[in-house]
Amino acid sequence: MNLTIENILLVGSILLFISIIVGKSSYKFGVPTLLIFLTVGMLAGSDGIGGIFFNDPKIAQLIGIVSLNFILFSGGLNTNWGNIKPVLKEGIALSTLGVLLTALSLGTFVWLVTDFTIYESMLLGSIVSSTDAAAVFSILRSKNLALRTNLRPTLELESGSNDPMAYVLTIMFLTLVVNQDQSIVSIIPMFFQQMIVGAFAGFAFGKLSKIIINKINLDFEGLYPVLVIALMFITFSATDFVGGNGFLAIYICAVFLGNQDLIHKKTILRMYDGLAWLVEIVLFLTLGLLVFPKKIVPYIGVGLLISLFLIVIARPLGVLISLVFFKMKFRRRLYISWVGLRGAVPIVFATYPLLAGVEKADIIFSIVFFISVTSILIQGTTLTVFAKWLNVGMPEETKKKTEIDELLSNLPKSSLEEFEILPNLFSENKRIVDLNFPKSAFIVMIKRGKEYIRPSGATEIKANDILMVLADSEEDYTKVKDCLYRRDTTTNPED
């Protein structure tokens, strides 16, 4: 089956629907959702039951770059500066020196066990040298892992900021593979230009974007997220145009914006959270379609060998050396080493050799794909187990208290009120979405006995629940009372 303009929307929407439904229950069996999306794409491909032929690395790369823009920007927006500031040095060390050491050690191993040239080996090492932001954000948040002593901010900072380093190394060694007459010294200026210009542009566009968002007067609230999307792509493309690292620029820009007061900030954050999930699914489905499983089979042996070396030696080596000057318990360093998830980013970077016409590009792509799958399958399914083994996870009670404190710490105390749901009220056994709850008020937490629940629209309210509600005015709270305390009978509610 070939994709055409007439059927691409039908096929795409069906695959999207299947991925969401299957992914919904995947964690019950310990399978990361992202791997489900990838598998659905492979099954729909030409070697699978779907029979869809897709073999266009250029389109896949375009989808990958657009998706990474949304994923990195969303991750940056949700990064709390107060949380990452104490671990900023560790995060930068991991995302720069750690990535470099991982690339060099893995590249050396590939050179020793294959017939690749040294530059081809270093290219493969560079492609898989960074942890994947989509995989780390998705798995950590889906598993709701609560980790001790700033471990989670460290991991999220590293995964959100180390893709630019891997991208620069990939471009550098790809240049050396294509232009074999060049020396490694000749491309060092490219590295510094990419990183310095990217960092400066990210901060500059962040400040400019804040001014534009807050000063411009749009007629509709829904246009503000669209404005931010435009600013995001301008930041990436303009930085890339002047020779900077666009991925680094959009991440720094997003971190800056996420920690500023913006008009309709909640709307922007919610929109990006949904879009980040959408592009992750689309990205993994596309990469699944691009892969031909028959081409991967001959390289399973060497792929498994390289993947195990990356997981057991190269990644831990990069982490331990880059953190040698920081005070941190050894078991925490080991856990950071284990959360070295490879996902879609290496597969996207592996399309660059394909488009450049590198002789061993197909082999590199197959090995990189195998490494990403095994990393998500082996490391992604064991994060909770390793957290318990290494004693880096919080006890359940402490975890709940931390989540509540973090949620309520940024809210003005005077704007919060508690409402107890008495038996026989209209709101009892109703979903929040069915209550016609005032749009100007928010249920930020539900206390049910000793348990605290973060509500969603599908959360069902029970008798004796205590609702913590945030609203702007007394008029809003009156509407909340009318909504919650209305009885099914004709009797008036008791105050």
Per-residue pLDDT tens digits for 234-253: 999 999 999 999 999 999 99
Q: Which residues contact 455 (CB under 8 A, 6 or more apart)?
A: 432, 443, 444, 445, 446
Helix axes 163-178, 99-113, angle to 10 degrees: 40
Contact 413, 473 (CB under 8 A): no
**Domain layout of the chain by residue ranges:** 56-264+294-394, 409-484
Q: Do domains 56-264+294-394 and 409-484 have the same CATH topology?
A: no
pLDDT exceeds 60 at position 495: no
Nearest to 165 by CA among 98, 243, 231, 104: 98
> What is the chain's Cα-based Rg?
24
pLDDT band at 488; cut points 50, 70, 90? low
Number of other residues whose CB lies within 10 A of the CB of residue 141: 13
- pLDDT, residue 494, reads 45
270: its two tokens: 């919610």
- pLDDT, residue 445, reads 86
Please give the average per-residue pLDDT across 408-435, as a whole number. 73
Please give the average per-residue pLDDT across 22-41, as a whole number. 65
One-letter amino acid identity for 304? Answer: L
- SS3 of 423, please? coil
Query: Quick one: which H or E segment has residue 194?
Result: helix 188-215
Phi, psi of 100 (to 5 degrees): -60, -45
195: its two tokens: 């990183």
Angle made by CA atoms 394, 396, 401, in degrees to the nearest 5: 85
Answer CATH for 409-484 from 3.40.1360.10, 3.30.1700.10, 3.30.70.1450, 3.40.50.920: 3.30.70.1450
Please give the average per-residue pLDDT across 166-174, as a whole number. 92
Percent of the chain's residues with pLDDT above 90: 29
Angle made by CA atoms 295, 136, 292, in degrees to the nearest 5: 10
Contact 42, 288 (CB under 8 A): yes
- What is the spatial distance between Cα 466 and Cα 409, in angstroms, rounded to a whole number? 19
- pLDDT, residue 144, reads 57
pLDDT band at 141; cut points 50, 70, 90? low
Sign of CA dihedral 236, 239, 241, 247: negative
Q: Which residues contact 217 (CB under 8 A, 6 or more apart)?
A: none
Q: How far is CA 375 from the centre of its chain?
A: 16
pLDDT exceeds 50 at position 299: yes
Per CATH, the number for 56-264+294-394 is 1.20.1530.20
CA distances from 229 to 36, 134, 268, 374, 418 (A): 28, 18, 10, 33, 37
pLDDT exceeds 80 at position 32: no
- What is the spatial distance between Cα 207 and Cα 378, in angstroms, rounded to a whole number? 41
Q: How far is CA 111 from the centre of its chain?
A: 31
Nearest to 38 by CA among 281, 366, 273: 281
- What is the spatial distance between Cα 337 and Cα 312, in angstroms, rounded to a whole number? 9
- pLDDT, residue 240, reads 93
Number of other residues whose CB lies within 10 A of the CB of residue 403: 16
Please give the average per-residue pLDDT across 384-412, as a whole number. 62
- pLDDT, residue 110, reads 95
Query: Quick one: which H or E segment has residue 447?
Result: strand 441-448
Nearest to 286 by CA among 127, 58, 24: 58
